[in-house]
Structure 1
Amino acid sequence: MKILVTGFDPFGGEAINPAIEAVKQLPNTIKGAEIIKLEIPTVFHQSARVMREKALEVRPDVILNIGQAGGRAELTPERVAINQDDARIPDNEGNQPIDVAIQADGESAYFSTLPIKAMVEAIRQAGLPAAVSNSAGTFVCNHIMYQSLYLAATELEGTKAGFMHIPYMTQQVVDKANQPSMSLDDIVRGIEVAIEAIVEYHDQEDLKVIGGTTH
Structure 2
Amino acid sequence: MQAAAEELLSLPGVDGLQLTPGNAPTEGFLESLAHRGIPTRTHHGFDARALRSRVWSDAAGCRVRSDSVHPPRDVDAASAHWRTRAEAGDYAHLTLETMYPGYALGTGDALQWAMDLGLRLAVDVSHLHIQRAAGRLTDAVLHRLWDYPHVDEVHVSANPGDRDAHEPLTADTFGLGWARERMGAGLPVILECYLHRLTHDERRAQLALLRGPS
TM-score (norm 1): 0.29
Structure with max Cα Rg: 2
Structure with the largest fraction of strand: 1
TM-score (norm 2): 0.29
Structure with bigger RCO (C-alpha 8 Å, 6+ apart)? 1
